[in-house]
Structure 1
């Protein structure tokens, strides 16, 4: 176990910085227990890619990224057990080598397993990543280890916990046989793709829509399971498509000063990078997951019931098309679909949901990015929920109205962590625990 003293913690996009007194790099569950037990206040971080202020802000930190071993693989049960600091991409490559998959994956592979689970990371056309946990161990505030299986009631709270119930240690995932997707991509008018959502969810195994504000267009991505030997005519589009990130950076560079220019930039980016069709095949991981992400982003994401999404979408579109506000949104807005589950702080608790991402390409000026405020106001109005790892302003008062099990979670949190060891200032305010220090 390594210990550093008196340093500065900096988030991936440099938007958050905090001083700390002690930072530990742990490599075993025993070391994790030791640090948690002796610390008065502690937070755990991995790849630091959260836009929410949940990973630091206290005197003692644990860097979990060296706690990253694949522990066991059970061929008969099709399960794999890993340490929580493992990077998601390393897990996915291991299970693909076994001929397995986890059937719903996020769009990025550089996050740690523990962080992804704690914040409700999800993919599309499936459930949260945490729903595939069959067993896990968690280091509690007193340093003891508690084993939880998918037969225990506690699993419903632990699957999405923001790291405030304890520190996820070892996790067992249920995998499934790998499959091949035939993926088709291309633009469609809003009036075409919006009414087809339910039809497409039934028809396709994979559905994702990249909405392009100020263009009246969406970029629709569908995937259908096929025999891996099926031949398709692959078309990955023009070679210059790989430069979209660079072009976006240039076109959006001064939009914090001239927000209206975003509408022009979006039209140019649509013409250059979203107007052509693509077709390819591959596993879910190879065909749909991004293998890198620029650090100049700031992200928000909101979810709403599938039945309410058309209403919310039309209201949002109407609002951002008004030239008398400053909510000019960088493209794309990522629309994905998460099926209902029973995890207390899941976005999809008891209902099928639609998630809608909102991105600022200028992370340093995100505080003045009006789009974050606009999307939050509209989604909250309709009972929408924020993504835990992304940017939002809602706190206890608003969250208690939209999460049915919010108060139950808070009661459990106090029981498992009576001294608030796992709360930082942001989480203290989020759960309204200011008077319970």
Structure 2
């Protein structure tokens, strides 16, 4: 175990900073237990890529990335057990080496498993990653270990816990046999792709839409399971396409000063990077996962019921297309689909949902990015829910209106952590807790 004292924690894009008294790097469950047991205030972090202020802000911090081992496999049950600090990309490589997959992959593979599960990370046309937990172990506030299986009634509370019920120690995932997807990509007018969502969800194994604000276009990506030996005519487009992030960085450099230029930049980026078609194949991981963030950025993401999405989309489009407002949005806005589950703090609690991401390429000026405010106002108005790891302003009063199990979760949190050991200032405000504990 390594220990550092009296330092400053800085998020990956330098938007969040916190001083700490002690920072630990651990490699064993016993070390994790001891630190949790003996700390008054504690938070755990990985690669610091959350846009919400959830990972730090406590006197004691644990850098969980060195707690990252694959502990066991079960070939007969297709399960893998890992420590919570393992990076998603490393987990996927270990699974694929066995000929397996977890059919839920987030858009980024550099996050830790513990952080991904705690914040409700999800994939595309699938479920939350937490829905594939078979069993797991948590370190509770008193340092004891709590084992939870998929059959345990409390699993639905622990699946998406924001790290406030305890510290995830180990997790066993249920895997499936690996499969190959035939991916087709191309642009469509908004009037074409929007009415086809339900039809495509039934027809395809994978559906993702990159909406291009201020262009009236969406970039539709579909995937169908095929025999891996099937030959297809691959079309990956011009090598120039790999420079999209670099072009975006240049075109958006001054849009925090001149927001209206975003609409022009979006049209240029559409012509250069989204106006053609592509076709390829690969595993879910190979074919559909971004794998890293090319540069620092800031993100917000909101979810809404599948039935309500068309209405919300049209309202959002109307608002941001008014030149009288300042909500000019960088492209793309990522539209994905999550099927209903029973996790208390899931975005898809008992309802099929659509998620819509919003990105600012100017991380340093994210606080003045009007799009984040407009998106939140519209989605909250219709009962939308924010992604826990991304930017939003809503607190206890708003969240209690959109999460049916919010109050139940708060009661359980208080029971398991009566001294608020796992709350930082951000979470204290989020749950409307008193600050004198």
TM-score, structure 2 normalization? 0.99
Equivalence for 1:363:
363
Give a deviation string over 1:65-107, Cα, whole Å, max 9, x none. Answer: 0000000000000000000000000000011010000011111
1:295 Cα shift?
3.7
Equivalence for 2:204:
204
Give a deviation string over 1:263-288, Cα, whole Å, max 9, x none. Answer: 00000000000001000000000100
Cα separation, 2, equivalents of 1:289 and 1:97:
17
Cα separation, 2, equivalents of 1:264 and 1:200:
31
Q: Which moved more, 1:293-302 or 1:25-34?
A: 293-302
Equivalence for 2:185:
185
Cα separation, 2, equivalents of 1:143 and 1:116:
22
Asked if the contact 1:12/1:295 (under 8 Å) is kept, the reply is: no
* 1:412 counterpart = 2:420: no
Q: Which moved more, 1:190-199 or 1:288-297?
A: 288-297
Equivalence for 2:6:
6
Aligned Cα root-mean-square deviation (Å): 0.6
1:294 Cα shift?
2.8
Asked if the contact 1:105/1:124 (under 8 Å) is kept, the reply is: yes
Cα separation, 2, equivalents of 1:422 and 1:205:
39
* 1:108 counterpart = 2:108: yes
Equivalence for 2:132:
132
Equivalence for 1:52:
52
User: Mapping of 1:16-31 within 5 angstroms?
Assistant: 16-31=16-31
Cα separation, 2, equivalents of 1:19 and 1:429:
19
Equivalence for 1:62:
62
Cα separation, 2, equivalents of 1:181 and 1:51:
31
Equivalence for 1:426:
426
Give a deviation string over 1:349-391, Cα, whole Å, max 9, x none. Answer: 0000000000000000000000000000000000000000000
Give a deviation string over 1:121-158, Cα, whole Å, max 9, x none. Answer: 00111110000001000000000000000010110000
* 1:194 counterpart = 2:186: no
1:436 Cα shift?
6.1
Asked if the contact 2:379/2:385 (under 8 Å) is kept, the reply is: yes
Cα separation, 2, equivalents of 1:296 and 1:2:
28
Aligned-partner SS, 2:21: strand
Runs of 4+ in 1 over 6 A off after TM superposition: none
Equivalence for 1:41:
41
1:291 Cα shift?
1.8
Q: Which moved more, 1:228-237 or 1:286-295?
A: 286-295
Cα separation, 1, equivalents of 2:295 and 2:422:
27
1:159 Cα shift?
0.3
Equivalence for 1:73:
73
Equivalence for 1:162:
162
User: Mapping of 1:322-401 within 5 angstroms?
Assistant: 322-401=322-401
Aligned-partner SS, 1:345: coil
Cα separation, 2, equivalents of 1:408 and 1:90:
35
Equivalent residues, number: 437
1:40 Cα shift?
0.2
Asked if the contact 2:428/2:435 (under 8 Å) is kept, the reply is: no
Give a deviation string over 1:190-228, Cα, whole Å, max 9, x none. Answer: 000000000000000000000000000000000000000
TM-score, structure 1 normalization? 0.99
Runs of 5+ unmatched residues, structure 1: none
Cα separation, 1, equivalents of 2:318 and 2:274:
22
Cα separation, 1, equivalents of 2:434 and 2:322:
39
